[in-house]
Amino acid sequence: MAQTAYRKLFDLTGKTAVITGACGILGRRFAAGLAEFGADLALVDLVEPPAAALAAELAKRRGVKAVGIACDVADPEAVKRLAERVDRAFGGAQILMNNAATKGHNVDAFFAPVESFDLKTWREIMAVNLDGMFLVAQALGARMAERGGGSIIQTASIYGMLAPDPRIYEGSEYNGRPINTPAVYTASKAGVIGLTRHLATYWAARGVRVNTLTPGGVASGQNDAFARRYAARIPLGRMAEADDMVGAAVFLASDASRYVTGQNIAVDGGLSAW
């Protein structure tokens, strides 16, 4: 019996990955990780120059083809142009890291309590976190289905699975600002998990796998009070680092996960096991 070359299952050489929210905390790590395993990159963010700069850096460091593309994922026409540009530049994509999310233009409104949360802000967040997730998956996933395969990884959050514990936010700050997890964030990320399951079964017969990567709380500017309280809830005893998410992303993007679809992979230090 022939021996499977297991290491080669993780090789992404010859594949193109589209990463939305590419200039964010997780997006940059996803881009670096997929490039290290050989993937060419279409790095997508709201503004093109930072995405293009990141693309140039990774192309030089890893010897892959990479371009930066500006796209508002909440705009159906912009998403259509994104898909067309990826087709022109790369001949299509085999991997989609559907990762873009927003706090909206008014951060104070984003962190408002449930009782006073504004519907306009709710719709602004949903337009990116859920509508945008659907629009990008729709445009690129349909093309993958036409070509007979691909892998879509959608970024959710542990708060799409669990309700936040308000006790950890007492005295907690993010970059000097009091914080909470608003209901719109929880609802949008729960929607991502449901969307993943639907698309996974819808496109399965055409070779497109769709999975969710669900990060736990990632250290990124929270104060010590928050970090201590959050870590106390985690079996592994610490907040996540952005790099902790990359291994799962590479797995889901690669043929190592060729029999995995419709799943929610929680990289949460064990929080959801309590």
Query: By CB neighbour count within 10 A (0-12 exposed, 13-18 middle, 19+ buried), where does 65 fall?
Result: middle
Nearest-10 crossing angle of helices 48-62, 25-36: 30
Report the 3 state secondary structure along 248-274. HHHHHHCHHHCCCCCCEEEECCCHHHC
Q: Is domain 6-267 classified as CATH 3.40.50.720? A: yes
Q: What are phi and psi of 179, to 5 degrees?
A: -130, 165
- Output the pLDDT for position 2: 66
pLDDT tens digits for range 85-121: 999 999 999 999 999 999 999 999 999 999 999 999 9
Residue 98 and residue 155 in contact, taking contact as beta carbons nearer than 8 Å: yes
Which pTM does this prediction carry? 0.96
What 3 state SS string does 32-82 have? HHHHHCCCEEEEEECCHHHHHHHHHHHHHHHCCCEEEEECCCCCHHHHHHH
Mean predicted lDDT score pLDDT of the chain: 96
Domain boundaries, the chain: 6-267
69-80 pLDDT, tens digit per residue, is 999 999 999 999
Supply the pLDDT for residue 6: 96
- Active-site residue set: 185
Q: Distance (Å, rounded) from C-alpha 80 to C-alpha 85? A: 9
Q: What is the pLDDT of residue 51?
A: 98
| pLDDT score of 194 more than 90 | yes
Q: Is the pLDDT of residue 177 over 90?
A: no
When pLDDT is averaged across residues 212-234 and rounded to a whole number, the result is: 95
pLDDT at 174: 84
Residue with tokens 């898909």: 83
